[in-house]
Chains A and B, each alone.
Chain A
Amino acid sequence: MIVRLVQRIGILLASLVVSSVLVFAFMAVLPGDPARVALGTSASDSAVAQLREQFGLDRSLVAQYFSWIHGLVTFDPGDSYISHAPIGPQLADRLQVTLWLVGTGMVIACVLALPVGTLMAVRHRKPSGLILSALSQVGVAVPAFLAGILLITVFAVGLGWLPANGWTPPVQDPVLFLKQLVMPALSLGIVQAAVLTRYVRSAVLDVLREDYLRTARAKGLRPTRALLRHGLRNAAVPVVTVLALQLATLLVGSVVIERVFVIPGLGSLLLDSVANRDLIVVQDVVMIIAMAVLLVNFLVDMVYLLIDPRLRGGAS
């Protein structure tokens, strides 16, 4: 088990290093000079040279890479080339907003998908199961931002129950915060739920075919209880894998949802930075998202160990 843990941590670190090099290299091949880009074509050569020196752009790429990594690791990524404002606090603020969105969306997806997917599997030959299955297929085809627009049309424009957009920190006004959180989180959650139900269904279907479930019924457990007591834990491994992959989808989906609902999250920051050619911020945001995905993959590996004793190794 410890061997596995060390191995996984090694893979995580290696992945982080490789992906950071990739991101850095990609932004470094950028045609043109970031300082020139920041100051515009009309800036004098001396002003550009001064900016280059100020941000260390005159150093070697290797040195720049390490100073970038150092900034990320120490939570002090320096200042923006464009606004000259420190990036760190901004990232922390925006990340917090996005985590609310993604977290709530994920919870909504799980709460919907786990029972519905299980039901679809148990009734996979019955009309109710087929109808749910068809509904989920349609749900998968709806992009989150379309769901968001539809929700706005119905609940904000039509019924006027909820604000169409905006964001308020929870400490400032918890009620308004919740009102504004409902629709964006639902847009993310419902669509992910549709995807997730299909995986839950297939995982539960696999488990329903297992011999040990028949053993459980031969013991005198009714089908539902046999599934709950012996099936769900075993179905959890493939479902957890998909959950991890979905986190990446949700993080990226929130980029679009933040645009739909005018929410100042990481996604908006990314889009604004791209628009402003504030490339160092783009680089940081992309790296944070990639880091989050890799970290979750690592955590999922750890969860496997908790779920499945076979992976823990070692004999009795």
Chain B
Amino acid sequence: MSAAATETAVASAGPAGRRRRRPVTGSLLVGGLIVAIVIGMALLSFVWTPHDPTLVNPAVRLQEPSAEYWFGTDKFGRDVFSQVLMGSRTTLFVGFVAVGVAALVGVPLGIVAGMAPRWCGELLMRGNDLLLAFPALLLAIMFAAVYGAGTLVAMVAIGIASIPHFARLIRGGTLQVMETEYVIAARAAGRGPFAIAVRHVLPNVSSLVIVQASVGFAIAVLAEAALSFLGFGTPPPTPSWGRMLQESQELLSIAPRLAVFPGVAIALAVLGFNLLGDGLRDRFDPKLEDRR
């Protein structure tokens, strides 16, 4: 680092070199808030929705928003607001399972690839990169072709497609941890690789896992919406934002609002998880500040 940069860094380091507590950034706050709203919607939908979101009522088809139907009704007379509420549940459920699958496989894979001998780690990463040639949607369509469309199939496919992102990131973190003095000391003291992985590596890469989980959640939400839109996701009648969009398409000329509500819901949820991920990254890793 150049002398000037060092001096600036010193200038911002605060009194006596003590690390200043990092303030909560805007993206963390806004992202956290949006995610909290989405989770709140999902929780709310368990105890209350204004109407039964699956109730078909031809008498109230395609109603404009009103006090009775806040977001109006769709072509079957179903309440759009209730569907959006219920849809958040589907979205979170799919995201949760997909990220869970990706983390459960990707994190151990990344740690092993980081701790294994160099050639072995490289080989694992090559295989890992190969998975990148099969994006979530493609994999999910393939799965659907074989096992039939369904929520579980979609979740697992999205999860598998997200594994390489976790593994790559965690391997990078593991390689760094493995070079720290406390790990070298632990190895010198004869600690086994499993103990080192659990005691030293895992706690130190956990912040990476959390950041990637948040970003992975956003990717899963997008993929689920696209799959439902194509008819490979959650089967009817369970409400899903993606399928609401697909159903709205034929009615664009008369009721574009039917596309707007689920569309905004998807975009907000993705935005929320992305912002949360960015905010967490800034908070955990000051070096990356300002980069994204």
Binding site for B on A (CB under 8 A): 11, 14-15, 18-19, 22-23, 26-27, 29-31, 124, 137-138, 140-143, 145-146, 149-150, 152-153, 157, 164, 198, 201-202, 205-206, 209, 211, 214, 245, 248-249, 251-253, 255-256, 259-260, 270-271, 273-274, 277, 279, 282, 286, 289-290, 293-294, 297
Contact = CB atoms under 8 A, between A and B. Distances in A.
A273 B145 CA distance: 9
Contact of A137 (B144, B146, B259, B275): B275
A293 B132 contact: yes
Given A137-B274, A157-B256, A260 B135 contact: no
Nearest to B232: A274
B138 A289 contact: yes
Interface in B205-240: 218, 222, 225-226, 229-230, 232
Given A124-B290, A270-B141, A145 B146 contact: no
Given A137-B27, A153-B256, A279-B145, 17 more contacts: A27-B142, A140-B274, A141-B267, A143-B225, A143-B226, A143-B270, A146-B263, A149-B245, A149-B263, A206-B291, A249-B135, A251-B135, A253-B137, A256-B229, A273-B145, A274-B145, A274-B232
B222 to A, nearest CB: 5
Interface in B243-291: 245, 248-249, 252-253, 256, 259, 263, 266-271, 274-275, 278, 290-291
B189 interface: no
Contacts of B146: 26-27, 29-31, 279
B145 A255 contact: no
B2 interface: yes
13 contacts: A19-B134, A22-B130, A145-B229, A146-B263, A146-B266, A152-B252, A205-B290, A248-B135, A255-B137, A260-B249, A270-B141, A282-B145, A290-B133
B51 to A, nearest CB: 25
A-B pairs with the 10 shortest C-beta distances?
A: A141-B271, A141-B270, A293-B133, A290-B133, A274-B145, A252-B137, A141-B267, A252-B135, A202-B291, A146-B263
Interface size class of B (residues with CB under 8 A): 35 or more
B230 A141 contact: no
Contacts of A164: 252
A248 B133 contact: yes
A203 B2 CA distance: 20
Contacts of B144: 274
A214 B127 CA distance: 41
Contacts of A157: 252-253, 256
B292 interface: yes
A211 B218 contact: no
Given A18-B130, A145-B226, A260-B249, A255 B141 contact: yes
Nearest to A244: B132
B274 A256 contact: no
B126 interface: yes
A143 B266 contact: yes
B142 A286 contact: yes
A252 B138 contact: yes
A153 B133 contact: no
A256 B142 contact: no
B94 to A, nearest CB: 14
A141 B141 contact: no
Contacts of A143: 222, 225-226, 266-267, 270
Contact of B252 (A29, A145, A153, A245): A153
Interface in B2-52: 2, 5, 27
A260 B226 CA distance: 11
Nearest to B2: A211
B230 A256 contact: yes
B252 A149 contact: yes
Contacts of B2: 211, 214
Given A145-B229, A274-B145, A150 B249 contact: no
A113 to B, nearest CB: 14
A11 to B, nearest CB: 7
Interface in B105-160: 126-127, 129-130, 132-138, 141-142, 144-146
A260 B134 CA distance: 22
Given A149-B259, A271-B141, A141 B252 contact: no
Contacts of B248: 149
Nearest to A164: B252
A161 B1 CA distance: 55
Contacts of B290: 124, 205
B133 A141 contact: no
Contact of B133 (A211, A270, A294): A294
Contact of B268 (A141, A150, A202, A253): A141
